[in-house]
Amino acid sequence: MTRRRGPTGSARIGVSGLGYMGLATALSFSAHGGSVIGYDVNREVTDRIAHGRSPYHEAGLESLLSRELSSGRFRVVGDLAEMVAETEGVFLCLPTPAGARGRIDLRPVTSGARQLGKALRRTEGHRTVVIKSTVVPGTTERVLEPELRRVSGLGTDRLGVAANPEFLAEGSMVRDALRPERIVLGVNDPRSRGWLRRVYRSFGAPVLELSPTGAELVKYASNAFLALKVSFANEISRMAERLGTHVDDVMAATGADPRIGSKFLRAGPGFGGSCFEKDLRALVTCARDLGVRLRTGETTLTVNAEQTHHALELARQAAGPLHDRTVAVLGLSFKPGTDDVRESRAFPLVTGLLKDGARARVHDPVALGRFREAWKLGHPGGPGNGESLVFASSVPSALEGADLAILHTDWPEYRAWPRSWTDRMRQGVVLDLRRSLPASVTTRARLKVVALGVGNGSMPNGGPAGPPGSRRP
Ligand code: UGA
């Protein structure tokens, strides 16, 4: 990217919490010319980052990291007080994992705020603390700001507290962080507002200013609406199958209306990831606490869970009863381009296959290790690398003797599907949950394809009567 020497260049910025989002955020400030110090309690993470190695599989992150480290504008420290002393404001990028009964677990963020409060006690001049973590509306003003003031002893003349949610999506984090569509600032005090405007000026994105609580609600409303679009497309996909049409054609034509928009209308196995499900649950719970019933949120979650049942039904239609069958599941991360398996729909899918009495052989080009770890945590003493569940390190070994392959995550490497892969299978049948295998490839590979959201007669090369979307070469 071309480095713009704008006002960000004069800002001294701290970022506390160097997870996926914190690191991408810190590097984007530095790439825009800011002077950035990153801090994380986890020494292993800071050591890796200091040596130019990204702890996360994320396109472009490691090269941006090495560029910004060598520019001298970005560095990491192992001492929070040092970061606070040398910066004008600190972005708090700590996780808010799912807590009990649909709520979020605020402990990491409150304890981070407390540590920050202690470090702030020893500072001079004005500081701004910016909450970037996803927290339910009202948290900054009612919980975090009072806690920061209590621990630091600083009044409004010395400390401003703002909310600034992020909208980075995994797989495109670097691009999203460097060139955001919009900046949402939740800020009440003029000094912090001025500083934040300066920090973001050279990003060139529209800045939308609200109260901290309003900004927090924007974050949840955004994720809830995106998830709603996905669930909507998934319901329409079930209709498309029965009507003998193609969900992508239908959604493309529907989304061509700019009031609707074409993004996030791709039907698939249901949404996964660390945000949508957790955020929707938290929003529904927060609404309930306010005396509001958020039916769209509840339904979005229900439809998402149902989509796995639907995928299993398609698998039964494609391969017959699954009992005693071998099924390969290709792709385990919640989307391509990341090794993140949090809330991946591959978990309920594999669970459903095993429940039906099938043997599952699972593969992912980058997320296999994380999937195995998470599976074993969730199933202590349960199936894992035994007869019923095999973690396969290559596609051919996953397909060996399989009666059915289910394409769960559309990694580009699966799209090449050579004939030799089909030859490994007992029956060359694939259930394509993302409609990512090109007809030319599957014809050449002599694969029978059943595609989610595609009804008979709507496939480009037609096909005999059979289950939804079935296509034979
Ligand atoms: C999401 C939001 O897109 C980000 O804006 C937000 O900042 C982030 O959550 C967060 O709150 O941190 P992310 O979860 O990384 O980002 O990934 P998405 O691209 O939104 O995908 C989420 C899930 O929806 C994936 O499983 C994906 O396969 C699925 N999806 C997405 C579909 O099935 N169809 C679509 O059309 C789009």
Count of C-beta atoms within a 10 Å radius of residue 431: 28
Output the pLDDT for position 382: 66
Distance in Å, CA 227 to ligand 1 centroid? 8
Q: Which of 31, 38, 44, 42 is nearest to 5 (CA)?
A: 31
57, 278, 332, 334: which to mutate for ligand 1, most atoms within 8 A of CB?
334
Distance in Å, CA 134 to ligand 1 centroid? 15
Return the residue whose CA atom lies nearest to atom 5 of ligand 1: 167
The enclosing H or E element of 110 equals helix 107-121
Residues 322 and 349 sit within 8 Å (Cβ to Cβ): no
Residue 273 alpha carbon, nearest atom of ligand 1: 14
Output the pLDDT for position 168: 96
Residues having CB within 6 Å of any atom of ligand 1: 134, 166-170, 223, 226, 230, 264-266, 268, 271-273, 275-276, 334-335
Cα angle vertex 82, ends 27, 57, to 5°? 30
Tokens of 130: 């910016």
Q: Reply yes or no on whether 286 is catalytic.
A: no
What one-character-per-residue DSSP string does 178-228 give?
HS-S-EEEE--SHHHHHHHHHHHGGG---EEEE-HHHHHHHHHHHHHHHHH
What one-character-per-residue DSSP string does 227-245 give?
HHHHHHHHHHHHHHHHHT-
The 3-state DSSP composition of the chain as helix, strand, coil percent (nearest 5) reads 45, 15, 40
Task: Find all residues with CB under 8 Å of 339, minimum gap 6, and list them.
Answer: 56, 57, 333, 366, 367, 369, 370
Residues 299 and 231 sit within 8 Å (Cβ to Cβ): yes
104, 231, 275: which to mutate for ligand 1, most atoms within 8 A of CB?
275
In angstroms, the CA 316 to CA 50 distance is 50
Residues 467 and 319 sit within 8 Å (Cβ to Cβ): no
Task: Find all residues with CB under 8 Å of 343, minimum gap 6, and list them.
Answer: 272, 273, 274, 276, 277, 278, 334
Tokens of 105: 């677990």
Output the pLDDT for position 378: 86
Would you say the pTM of this structure is higher than 0.85? yes
Return the residue whose CA atom lies nearest to atom 28 of ligand 1: 335
List 27, 45, 275, 389, catalytic entry = 275
Residues 45 and 61 sit within 8 Å (Cβ to Cβ): no
Return the residue whose CA atom lies nearest to atom 10 of ligand 1: 275
Residues 356 and 389 sit within 8 Å (Cβ to Cβ): no
Return the residue whose CA atom lies nearest to atom 31 of ligand 1: 264
Residue 173 alpha carbon, nearest atom of ligand 1: 15
Q: Which of 423, 425, 465, 428 is nearest to 449 (CA)?
A: 428
Output the pLDDT for position 457: 58
Output the pLDDT for position 383: 61
Tokens of 367: 């997320």
In angstroms, the CA 326 to CA 331 distance is 16
Q: Which of 143, 140, 147 is nearest to 161 (CA)?
A: 140
168, 301, 333, 340: which to mutate for ligand 1, most atoms within 8 A of CB?
168
Residues 91 and 30 sit within 8 Å (Cβ to Cβ): no
Return the residue whose CA atom lies nearest to atom 8 of ligand 1: 169
Distance in Å, CA 178 to ligand 1 centroid? 18
Give the pLDDT of the chain (473 residues) as one tens digit per residue: 444 445 566 899 999 999 989 999 999 999 999 999 999 999 999 999 999 999 998 999 999 999 999 999 999 999 999 999 999 999 999 999 999 999 999 999 999 999 999 999 989 999 999 999 999 999 999 999 999 999 999 999 999 999 999 999 999 999 999 999 999 999 999 999 999 999 999 999 999 999 999 999 999 999 999 999 999 999 999 999 999 999 999 999 999 999 999 999 999 999 999 999 999 999 999 999 999 999 999 999 999 999 999 999 999 999 999 999 999 999 999 999 999 999 999 999 999 999 999 999 999 999 999 999 999 998 766 665 567 999 999 999 999 999 999 999 999 999 999 999 999 999 999 999 999 999 999 999 999 999 999 997 554 444 433 445 555 43
407 three-state secondary structure: strand
Give the number of C-alpha atoms closer than 13 A to the C-alpha of residue 372, restricted to the C-beta side: 17
Residue 338 alpha carbon, nearest atom of ligand 1: 15
Output the pLDDT for position 6: 52
Return the residue whose CA atom lies nearest to atom 24 of ligand 1: 271
Residues 321 and 354 sit within 8 Å (Cβ to Cβ): no
Task: Find all residues with CB under 8 Å of 333, minimum gap 6, and list them.
Answer: 339, 340, 341, 344, 346, 364, 366, 367, 370, 371, 409
